[in-house]
Structure 1
Amino acid sequence: MAPTIPGFDYQRIHVADGVALNVAVGGSGRPLVLLHGFPQTHLMWRRVAADLAADHTVICPDLRGYGASDKPADTDGAAYSKRTMAADIVTLARALGHERFALAGHDRGALVAFRAGLDHPATITHLACLDVLPTLDMWQVMRGTSAAIGFHLYLMAQPPGLPEQLISAAPDAFFGHFLDIWSQNPDAITPDVRAAYLDACRDAVPSIVADYRASAAIDVDHDQADRDAGNRLRMPVTVLQQDWGAFLGFDARALWSAWAPELAHTTVGGGHFMAEEAPEQITVELRKLLAR
C-alpha cells in the first residue's frame, strides 16, 4: 500500500472536464494549500503538513498529471500550462469550502503557486515559493556550461515524441537521478516514499513532460504578458531557496523582488528537497509568512 500523510483524509475532487485531483486534507483553521514539486507527489509535505495541521486546515493535492490525480492528454499545449493548473487549485479549494487561502509550492508546484498569485490575487492571501525562479527569469539566467544542471528542462521542452520515448525507456533511472543528485540528506526520503515517487512518475511520463514543455512555451508567454503589463504579486510573499545564484551567476532576491513588493527572501541550507530535508525550518518560515 502506498504511504499516506498520517491523520489526513483522502478525497478525489473534480476540478475540470475529465480532471479530478487526489487530495489529502487535515487539521482545522485558516486554509493552507501545499503544492508538491518534481519528481514528487503530495507526500513531500508529510512532515510540514502534520505540524501545520495543528492550527490550519492543510490541503495537499497531487497536481494534475502527477501522483494519483488525473492525467489528461495535452492536445492544445495548454492542458499543463501553469494557468490551467492554478485554476485547478482554486477550484479545488472552493470545492472544499475555501474562497480565500494561503498557498505554498515547491519546484513545479511553486510555479503553479506563482501563477495562481498573479491570476487570482483576491483569492491567494499569502504565497510561498520554494527553490525555484519564475519561468521567464529561469530561462533568462540559464546559459553557458552552467546550464547543464538543467538539462532536463531542455530535453522535455522538445516536441512530443522523443522526450517521452527516452524517459519511458528507463523511468526509474531518469527520475531517480534527480532524487539522488538534488538531495544532501539521502535519509530524508525514506525507501517507501522514494518507491511511491518512482511508481507515480513511471505512470506519468507523458503528463510530466507536457508540464515541462509548457514551461518552455505557453508559460513564458503568460509571464511575459504580466511583466509587460507591470503585474505583480499583491500578497505577502516568502521565497526560500538554496544559494544556487552563486553557481549560475544571478541575484535571486533581485529577480523575485521585481515580482513581489512584499517579499521575504531566505537562503536555506541543504538540498533541493528542503521540505523533506529541513521540515522544521520550512514550517517556521511558513508560520512567519502566515503571521504577516
Structure 2
Amino acid sequence: MHPTIPGFTYRRVPVADDVTLNVAVGGSGSPVMLLHGFPQTHLMWRHVAVELAARHTVICPDLRGYGASDKPAEDAEADGLTYAKRTMAADAVALARALGHDRFALAGHDRGALVAIRAALDHPEVITHLASLDVLPTLDTWDVMHGTGAAVGFHLYLMAQPPGLPERMIGASADAFFGHFLDIWTRDPQAIPADIRAAYLAASRASVPSVVADYRASAGIDVVHDQADRDAGNRLRMPVTVLQQDWGTALGFDAAERWRAWAPDLRHTTVSCGHFMAEEAPEDVVKAVLDLLTR
C-alpha cells in the first residue's frame, strides 16, 4: 500500500491539455498550496500539511513529471517549455482554480520553490504569499556556482546536457543516483523512514526523463525568463519568507542579499537541519508559514 497524507483526499485534476496532476487536499479555510522538491513527491509535506490543515485548505500536488502526476515527453521543438518553471507555475494556478480558488498562498521546497517563485512573478494577482525552502532563484543559483564549490551541484550540470546521455546514465543506476541525495542532504536519517524512502525511489525511478527535462529547463529557458525579469526590474510583490539551512561560507555568497534583490518584503531565516527541512524540522516550517500568512 502506498503511503498517503493522513486525513487528506486524493484526486486527479486536469491542468493542461496533456497533463493531469495527482493531488492531495485536506482541511478548510484560506488555501495554501505546497510544492515538493527533488527527489521527492507531495509526501514530503506529510507532517506540515496535517498541521496547516487545522486552519487552512491545504493542496499538495505532485508536480508534472514527478510522482503520480502525468509526465509528458519533452518536446524538442518547444525550447524547453514542456518543463519550464513558467509552464509548471501555470499548472499550479490552473490546479487552484479547478479546486475553486482564485487566490492562494504558495510554499515550495527545492524544485517546487523554483516553480513557486515563477508563479509569484508571473501571477502576482493570484499568489498572496510566498514561502521558499532552501533554494536560490534559478538565475542566482547559476550566478553563484563556480570553482570547486560548484561540485556540490554536479547533478545540475549533468542534467543540463542535451537529451540522451544524462537519461541513460541516471536510468542505469536510478536508485543509487536518487538515493545519494536522500542520504547526503539529510542530517537526520530517521526523518525519511523506509516506506517513504521507497516511495521516493520508486517514483523517481519511473520519472527519469521528466526529472532530467525539468533540470535541463533550469539551465536554459528558466534562465531566460529570470533574466528578463531581472532586466525589467520585476520583483516579488507579496510577502516572502525564505527558510534556508545553514550553508555556512562554503559557497561564498550572501543568500539573504541575493533574495532581497527579488523580494522587498522579505523574512530570511536559517534553520538548523539538513536540506529536507519539512521532514527534519516540520515545526519550524509550520510556524514560518503561519507567520507568513499573517503578513
Counterpart residue number, 1:72: 72
Counterpart residue number, 2:125: 122
Q: How far apart are 1:243 and its partner, in Å?
A: 2.2
Mapped to 1, the partners of 2:134 and 2:284 lie a distance apart of 14
What TM-score comes out, normalization by structure 1 length? 0.99
Contact 1:245 1:252 in 2 (8 A): no
Mapped to 1, the partners of 2:90 and 2:195 lie a distance apart of 31
Mapped to 1, the partners of 2:88 and 2:248 lie a distance apart of 27
Mapped to 2, the partners of 1:262 and 1:89 lie a distance apart of 23
SS at match of 2:10: strand
Question: Identity of aligned pairs, percent?
Answer: 76
Of residues 131, 155, 158 in structure 1, which corresponds to 2:158? 155
1:144 aligns with 2:143: no
Q: For this pair of structures, how many residues does the alignment match?
A: 292
For 1:99-248, list aligned pairs within 5 A.
Answer: 99-244=102-247, 246-248=249-251
Mapped to 2, the partners of 1:42 and 1:116 lie a distance apart of 18
For 1:12-91, list aligned pairs within 5 A.
Answer: 12-75=12-75, 76=78, 77-91=80-94
Counterpart residue number, 1:96: 99
What are the ranges of 5 or more consecutive residues in structure 1 without an aligned counterpart? none
Mapped to 2, the partners of 1:204 and 1:17 lie a distance apart of 20
Q: Deviations over 1:197-255 (max 9, x none)?
A: 00000000000000000000000000000000000000000000012251100000000
What TM-score comes out, normalization by structure 2 length? 0.98
Aligned partner of 2:72: which letter? P
Contact 1:117 1:124 in 2 (8 A): yes
Mapped to 1, the partners of 2:19 and 2:100 lie a distance apart of 19
Q: Deviations over 1:93-135 (max 9, x none)?
A: 0000000000000000000000000000000000000000000
Counterpart residue number, 1:287: 290
Q: How far apart are 1:17 and its partner, in Å?
A: 1.1
Mapped to 2, the partners of 1:129 and 1:31 lie a distance apart of 17
Deviating beyond 6 angstroms after TM superposition, the runs of 4 or more aligned structure 1 residues are none
Contact 1:245 1:251 in 2 (8 A): no
Q: How far apart are 1:65 and its partner, in Å?
A: 0.1
RMSD value, Cα: 0.5
Q: Deviations over 1:14-54 (max 9, x none)?
A: 00011000000000000000000000000000000000000
Q: Deviations over 1:75-104 (max 9, x none)?
A: 121100000000000000000000000000
For 1:266-281, list aligned pairs within 5 A.
Answer: 266-281=269-284
